Structure 1
Amino acid sequence: DNETEAEFLDRIAKNLEDLIIKEGSDSFSAMIAEPLIGAGGVLIPPEGYFPKIQSILDKYDIHLIDDEVICGFGRTGNCWGYETFSMRPSSMTIAKALSSGYMPISAVIVSEEIFEPIKHASDDVGVFAHGYTYSGHPVSCAVALKTLEIYERINLFSHVSHVAKSFQDRVKKLSSFDHVGEARGVGLVAGIELVKNKETKENFEPYGRIGMLLAETCQKNGLIVRAIGDVIAICPPLVITEDQIHELFDILESSIEEVSKKI
């Protein structure tokens, strides 16, 4: 219970290496990771997590696959989540913001280290083929190209970096509420964890009821958030303004107060 962050990092790195040794390094081709865990409750890795893990992967020649479906295109304050958390991926998966969500499209980006063997092997055994019925759909691709053009034209990633401080400052202030066990985030994404007991971090029973109640209260008051159990996920449009950020958190704070009176 009194484990420091540094001790935690050492422990999980050792757990990973012990597993690799136990199973044999040849059993692993890659580790797949999100820069931060999104749908699992907006879990932010501690500082130094990925460099620590990367050193283990490098030691045993294991690749890192970076899932940028949520974090990619500015969500964490940089274009890519791997930049924010000092990851060194061999390949990346991207989607969602590739078209700003207007059309379904996804892609895989691979390093030269991955691409070259595939290219050379294709000369001998034929094309390394993989696809879906709607792969490369021209409408989705056109929307994605226009989306990327707009991102560049409006300097979106710089905007996110600029307003993220105000956003995260308001996130931190939520920690003062009695039933907020932790308020965490980076860039323009945050998770507000609701607990019954702030000191012990005891959960409400049944788990998820209070989160849903708060989400419903927020919506009634004009704010859409997502309840992931008793974690409230906040993931606003990247074009959000400073004034809109304060409006968002004003509604959220008043909604927390409203729900607290019903507990």
Structure 2
Amino acid sequence: MLPNSQQARDVAYQLHAYTNARSHQGTGPLIIERGEGPYVFDTAGKRYLDAMAGLWSAGLGFSEKRLIEAAHRQMQVLPFYHTFTSRSNGPCIELAEKLVKISPVPMSKVFFTNSGSEANDTVLKLIAYRSNALGQPQRKKVISRLRGYHGVTIAAASLTGLPDNHRSFDLPLPNILHTGSPHFYKDSRPGESEETFATRRAEELESQIQREGADTIAAFFAEPVMGAGGVIVPPPTYWDKIQQVLRQHRILLVADEVICGFGRTGKMFGCETYDIAPDVIVVSKQLTSSYFPLSAIIMNDYMFEPIAEESNKVGVLAHGFTGGGHPVGAAIAIENLKLIEERELIANASRIGAYMQDRLRTLSEHPLVGEVRGVGLIAAVELVLDKERKVAAATPGDVGKVARRLMHERGIIVRNVDDALAMCPPLIVNKDQIDELVDGIAGVLDELKAKVVNLSRA
């Protein structure tokens, strides 16, 4: 029996996401009880600096009263209504207008969903709908990237380019293809420059399109900066070269801004950081600082107009979610965006983010650090046991798991993506909290040396 009765009840009744269900029965959960700014506290009272902002998402931290008050006000007026059959509500209308106006490129319409996974699934359905509207029923294939992350629903998990999201789920679905990731550190060839690597990735995409038939490819899905795949920052010219290929074949570009959106990279959108001009933008997470489940698909007229025509032809766009456009979620999102602007949190992400990147790079000479990468307030430290070969333990993730546990013991929450320590602190963090984070990593690196010797490759 687990010593904590609440832990025991959890084990008895709950199946957890991204967890080994069998081992969880023996260990039980860490139960988070409350939050305060960028910190959370467990039921024993231990404080943790949550350097992952929950799940890349709590941009305003864990105790923003104005978001709570916005939810309360809306609950008192209209706690729920749907957007089916030409229904709407005030917050939903205001938020849609705001998202179109702040988009980095001209956009036209917004469709609301509840999560990034739902949003990406919906985009895939709308792409098929659009292709049929254009009289191009063969144009249904989409390309995403290895190491990319786009969610866990059936279609979104198929877009995701991570093996664990496919293994034992019978995924990916047909017509979803993957091309190489922009990870120069891991995927470049000996002696290859970043420029040459970016050119090769664009040429590989072009070759794949030609093999499949350009008239069969509808869209390309990508994150400006890959998040859950390990915080992979694209090399210079990568996005320019990729977009040239897509434009040549009139292939839709879907920017998954679920992690990057609303300040994470030091700009409002990751697309602004990398000069990306998408046809569709998917947002969630920091849209409400995750105080309420909400996501949105922002599309241009090139995407929207054929869909509108097809709905007129068949009589209905028969798709939607009960909670899509939820007035409470929309009210929270509106207040969240106001706070980001009022408190200049995007400028803070740029300024404090630069400080974080500089401080993290002081760790680069450590014998266990292969690469430090990141932009704005998102970063990763790649752990290795052999710098020259760029490898850690025989089993990927073994070193990262130990490091993550040691960070946890120090009261700092990070995430290991295999052997990379990923971090994505709330937009509200200050220099002292960044120092706490980086000093914690530095201490763990020294502690780690003695613990990983048995994990080393032969």
TM-score by length of structure 2 reads 0.56
The equivalent residue for 1:89 is 278
Q: Residues 1-263 of structure 1: matches in 2 within 5 Å?
A: 1-263=190-452
Q: What code does the residue aligned with 1:101 have?
A: S
Give the secondary structure class of the aligned counterpart of 1:182: strand
Cα contact 1:223–1:252 (8 A) shared by 2: no
Q: What code does the residue aligned with 1:255 have?
A: V
Aligned length: 263
Deviation string, structure 1 residues 215-254 (Cα, Å, up to 9, x no partner): 1111111211101111100110111011211121111111
* 2-structure distance, mates of 1:184, 1:176: 14
Give the secondary structure class of the aligned counterpart of 2:451: coil
Give runs of ≥4 in structure 1 deviating > 4 Å.
Answer: none
* 1-structure distance, mates of 2:444, 2:225: 26
Identify unmatched segments of 5+ residues in structure 2.
1-189, 453-458
Cα contact 1:9–1:49 (8 A) shared by 2: yes
* 1-structure distance, mates of 2:277, 2:334: 26
- Which is greater in Rg? 2
Q: CA RMSD in A?
A: 1.3
Q: What code does the residue aligned with 2:257 have?
A: E
Cα contact 2:392–2:399 (8 A) shared by 1: no
Q: What code does the residue aligned with 1:223 have?
A: I
Q: What code does the residue aligned with 2:398 have?
A: R
Cα contact 1:180–1:193 (8 A) shared by 2: yes
Deviation string, structure 1 residues 73-102 (Cα, Å, up to 9, x no partner): 111111101111121100011000010011
Identify unmatched segments of 5+ residues in structure 1.
none
Larger relative CO (CA 8 A, sep 6+): 1 or 2?
A: 2
Which deviates more from structure 2 when the two are superposed, residues 110-119 or residues 225-234?
A: 110-119
Q: State the identity %.
A: 43
1:127 is displaced (CA, Å) by 3.4
Cα contact 1:171–1:185 (8 A) shared by 2: no
Deviation string, structure 1 residues 169-225 (Cα, Å, up to 9, x no partner): 012112111011111111001111111111221221222121111111111112111
